[in-house]
Structure 1
Amino acid sequence: MKEILWKYVRYAPVAWALTNLSGCSWVLFNPKGSVGVAQRDLIITCIALMLFVVVPAIVLTFVFAWKYRASNQKARYTPDWAHSTKIELIVWGIPLVIIVALATIVWKSTHELDPYKPLNEGGDPINVEVIATDWKWVFIYPDLGIATVNELVFPDNRQVAFSITSNSTMNTFFIPQLGGQVYAMAGMRTSLHLIANEKGAYRGMSGNFSGPGFSDMHFTAYAKSEREFNRWVAQVRTSPMSLDYSAFLKVSRPSQANDVVHFSRVESGLFKRLIDQFVDSGKQISTQAAMASAATTANQE
């Protein structure tokens, strides 16, 4: 009876692990944009190349264990064996070829998928300025003079040029089905170019833990037709709320599970002002430190 119970107890962790796998999401392998498709193909190619080493190694482990088991009297016993040129060529040659192939593919794709590089499709881009705060996303459309919180909308089959920064801790801007994952850092501006090849609603998120509200720091990216996008812009412009620097300071206060908010007017140059606030602070701190160092030196003299 104990043996039977122990048998079931042994396999309980395996059953638990398989149950958890049912909640896994495969969105990375179901891309809806050309950048996401290219990144998916790169992942699959790299995995396939690496399996050329991994799979034979696993298979040969069992083959050797079976062939050279103690009960196999037909196995050749060579205790003085020390070298085989053929084995050395296989062991070192195949991995070397795979490494060269992977290096070539990654080098080429890294340049082709440079997030700062505009896409060769989609015509004139939609410019969106992205600001990560605690714990929400603010999207500014500088060419349209509108802004939103936790809602991103753009036309399908038209590239979107993102300028990304943070007003607080470091985050990563990530829309898995469209590709790319770029850091949002205070006082710095990063860029990303994406495109959605079909209409739909895509989950956006932060991939970098940033505090207690991190789990709710997500948004929905909607790819719509040009007509639907223009209709959405008109709807946002009916909002009575405007976003200037003082209003943004209120919006950026730490909060969790935030609803969508629309702003019909945005202060010109707000994105740059938010970046410069950290740059100016850094200059001020550096100046104060230099003055303190000079005063200390003068007192010592």
Structure 2
Amino acid sequence: MKRLLALLTAGAGTALLSGCESLVVLNPQGPVARSIAELINWSLMWMLLVVVVVIGLFVFIVWKYREKPGNEDYEPPEEHGSLALEITWVVIPILIVIALTIPTVKALYKLEDVPAGYEDQTPLVIHVTSADWKWIFSYPEQNIETVNYVNIPAGRTVDFRLTSAGTMQSFWIPALAGQKYAMAKMENQLFLAADHPGSYLGRNTNFNGKGYSGMEFEVLSQTPKEFEEWVSDVKATAPKLSEPEYEKLLEPTHLGRQTYSNTHLEWVNHADPDSKSYTNPEMYRLDHGYPGKTFTEPDQYNAPNSGESQNNTKKDGGEKHGH
């Protein structure tokens, strides 16, 4: 029996250790991801403490008050409660919640700012546009654009401006930062930095059709010199992107890597509330079996604030807004 327990323990330990290789969030490669990993470890420590204490008390009570020869007919005296115990099991959970809440709130506010130690740098601004099922990265300062991969300089803050050309996506680079949503006609901001050169996987974690699972991209962190050389090479060799080509690119398909020596920001910024909608509902028939729907009525937030408009909104509900 002891030998069997030893084998099971060794097997479980090996499985856990081998699984750590895939836990990218616990192997952060930048200050933002490091803050998230520290918060996860802090939470795990408290959860483990609770589990150990609860299981320990359970085993102790079951063992101490088990039925033994000589006490089969024992009847415990009637109890009306213990004030000390009631205070204890109310106060301890409150203290645990406080111990988890304060670091969480501090970390969330910290993640919205430029990473610590990078405050004196000028961030590299990259506009991220999601579409089914691809990621488009626009460099307005460099006037270049990439699809399904993004190169960044190591040791410099990157300011990602997230939006969508259609459906909502979730932008996540586990080794460098947490996830944020990319939504049409609005913009979210995500700061991150890579400590050193390397290749990191990014993906969409929001389910929005059969193609979402393959919606991945590479983040290549380069030395500043390598990054500048890459930018110069793109400007000299990459083709120009035209508006018709861009509209074709937004159709719900999977694509490989693409590179252009200009950006689609020349004619459309999907974060603009008044920007054109690029949806292709009929093309979803093959993937979903449902063609989708395009709303022809004007958006309610642009409609006059009249009594008639409000009544129509109540009657039609979701039929009166959307794209």
Asked whether 1:54 is paired with 2:51, we answer: yes
Alignment check: 8 A CA contact 1:50 1:98 kept: no
Displacement of 1:259: 1.0
Mark the CA change 1:291 to 1:249 in structure 2 (over 3 Å): closer, same or farther.
farther
Structure 2 portions without partners, runs of 5+: 1-11, 278-294, 313-323
Q: How does 1:198-217 map to 2 (within 5 A)?
A: 198-217=196-215
Q: In the alignment, is the contact (CA less than 8 A) between 1:146 and 1:263 conserved in 2?
A: yes
Give the corresponding residue for 2:30: 33
Distance in 1 between residues matched to 2:90 and 2:306, nearest whole Å: 60
Identify the range of structure 1 (71-80 vs 120-129) with the bigger mean alpha-carbon deviation: 71-80
Are 2:220 and 1:250 aligned?
no
Q: Are the counterparts in 2 of residues 240 and 263 from structure 1 also a CA contact under 8 Å? A: yes
Q: Using a 3 Å threshold, how does the CA distance of structure 1 residues 201 and 46 change in structure 2: closer, same or farther?
A: same
Shift of 1:91: 1.2
Alignment-mate amino acid for residue 266 of structure 1: T
Match runs of 1:56-71 below 5 Å: 56-71=53-68
The CA distance in 2 between the partners of 1:234 and 1:71, in whole Å, is: 83
Which residue of 2 is the match for residue 263 of structure 1? Answer: 260
Structure 1 SS opposite 2:221: strand
Relative CO higher for 1 or 2, CA cutoff 8 Å, sep ≥ 6?
Answer: 1
- The alpha-carbon deviation at position 54 of structure 1 amounts to 2.5
Which residue matches 2:151?
A: 153
Q: 2:299 aligns with which of 281, 285, 290?
A: 285
Match of 1:218 in 2: 216
Kept in 1: contact 2:134–2:215 (CA 8 A): yes
TM-score scaled by length of structure 1: 0.81
* Cross-structure match for 2:234: 236
Matched, 1:125 2:123: yes
Change (3 A) 1:231 1:72: farther
Query: Contact 2:268–2:276 (CA<8 Å) still a contact in 1?
Result: no
Shift of 1:201: 0.2
Partner of 1:193: 191
State the one-letter code of the partner of 1:58: I
Does structure 1 conserve the Cα–Cα contact (< 8 Å) formed by 2:126 and 2:160?
yes
- Percent identity between matched residues is 31
- CA–CA distance in structure 2, aligned partners of residues 79 and 278 of structure 1: 76
Offset, 1:46: 1.6
Deviations 1:228-274 (A, max 9, x none): 10111122223442234332211111112x21100012245445256
The code of the aligned residue for 1:32 comes to Q
Q: Letter of the 1:118 partner, please give it.
A: V
Q: By how many angstroms is 1:172 displaced?
A: 0.6
- Number of aligned positions between the proteins: 277
Tell me how far apart the structure 1 counterparts of residues 65 and 308 of structure 2 sit (CA, whole Å).
73
In 1, distance between residues paired with 2:132 and 2:19?
A: 31
Cα distance in 1 for residues equivalent to 2:217 and 2:262: 21
Distance 1:152 1:246, change over 3 A: same
Name the structure 1 match of 2:291.
Answer: none
Judge which range, 226-235 or 104-113, deviates more. 104-113
> Cα gap change, 1:278/1:94 in structure 2, threshold over 3 Å: closer, same or farther?
farther
- Counterpart CA distance in 2 for 1:72 and 1:238 is 90
Partner amino acid, structure 1, of 2:67: A
Specify every segment of 5 or more residues in structure 1 that has no aligned partner in the other structure, as ranges: 1-14
Find the aligned partners of 2:50 and 2:70 in 1 and give their Cα distance. Answer: 30
Structure 1 residues 146-195: Cα deviation after superposition (integer angstroms, max 9, x where no partner): 00001110100100000000111111110000012100011111110000
What is the TM-score of this pair, normalised by structure 2?
Answer: 0.76
* C-alpha distance in 1 between matches for 2:89 and 2:303: 60
Looking at structure 2, the residues matched to 22 and 51 of structure 1 have their Cα atoms a distance apart, in angstroms, of 19
Please tell me the residue identity of whatever aligns with 2:94: L
- 1:244 and 1:56, CA in 2 relative to 1: closer, same or farther beyond 3 A? same
Query: For 2:163, what is the secondary structure of its paired residue?
Result: strand
- Return the offset for 1:277: 2.2
SS of 1:237's equivalent in the other structure is: helix
SS in 1 for 2:81: coil
CA distance in 2, matches of 1:274, 1:53: 45
Report the aligned-residue RMSD.
3.2
- Partners of 1:25 and 1:45 lie apart in 2 by 20
Please say if residues 131 and 164 of structure 2, whose CA atoms lie closer than 8 Å, have aligned partners that are also in contact: yes
Within the candidate set 118, 141, 164, 2:162 is matched to 164
Paired residue type of 2:117:
E
How much has 1:219 moved relative to structure 2?
A: 0.4
CA separation of 1:288/1:107 partners in 2, compared to 1, >3 Å: closer, same or farther?
Answer: closer
